Amino acid sequence: MILMTSRTPLTLVASAGVCVFALAAAAPAMASSAQDEKAMVSVFHGVPGLDVDVYANGDELLGDFKPGTLTEPQSLAAGTYDIQVFAAGEGPGGTPAVEKSIDVPAGANATIAAHLSADGKPQLTAFVNDMSALEAGKTRLTVRHVAAAPAVDVRAGGQPLFTGLENPKQATTEVDAGAVSADVVLAGTDTVAVGPADLDLKEGTGNVVYAWGSAQDKNLALKVQSFSGMESASGADGAAVPRNSSQPWLASAAAAGVVAVPGLLVARRAAGRRG
């Protein structure tokens, strides 16, 4: 297991093929309220064959966290967190596989994926979840390529929906609500890499499909994450606003695409520390 150690704030930085976006920079523009001091965070474990224990500030958060597991969104206080990730049963006295100090920005709705890079190396990627309003009858479909596999095309009902999607990028579109059969094929071919999977895309929901695992090890799989409450409602000026979100910046953040994160964004608040 590779030991990676750093103490880096959650500033989303540029890396190869990854656009620059700093979540923390958006926080001061949001309204000051109790909810604005929180972040909604989910964690997806997409590294095959590695059960882990996750510790925050020396306390266990997730024990025996298994591949393919996706946590429910948790409301976390904004602040600085010290994270250690161990192979299951090895912490806290052992050597962590990943150890980082991170800042959790207020107002974010994000999913942190622990997954394989295209060439099979474990890594962490943060994705902003688009919680903006949808038109009547519509649903949002997002596909995130987090598998050790080459570029892929994503098909719905046998027709290409996204093409040339590379790890660790995502693609998003709005489609009519309803049932759809989706699969993932090698880019430019009809060779099915994973699927098909039957998806029930309900009106006013956001649906995220993670393609994860390893093509070489023949364990590619799909994992689905869903968010509800994005039906359109009219605001005072007649504009459509999401029913469950007061952070309109999330939509523009999601449009920026996938962003790299230098640490696992799930933890108990680190007392007395600020980035």
227-245 per-position pLDDT tens digit:
999 987 644 444 444 444 4
Number of Cβ within 10 Å of residue 244's Cβ equals: 13
- What predicted TM-score, i.e. pTM, was given to this entire model? 0.72
What is the domain count for the chain? 2
Within this chain, do residues 219 and 254 fall inside the same structural domain, yes or no?
A: no
Sheet holding 192-201, edge to edge: 159-165, 152-156, 178-186, 192-201
Give the structural domain span for 204.
133-244
Tell me: the pLDDT tens digits for 144-198?
Answer: 999 999 999 999 999 999 999 999 999 999 999 999 999 999 999 999 999 999 9
Question: Predicted confidence band at 57 (pLDDT cuts at 50, 70, 90)?
Answer: confident
78 and 144 assigned to the same domain: no
139 shares its domain with 199: yes
Question: What pLDDT band is residue 260 in, cutting at 50, 70 and 90?
Answer: very low
CATH value at residue 170 = 2.60.40
pLDDT 10s digits, 74-123? 887 776 667 777 889 887 888 877 766 666 678 878 887 888 999 998 88
Residues 115 and 236 in one domain: no
Asked if residue 271 has pLDDT above 80, the reply is no
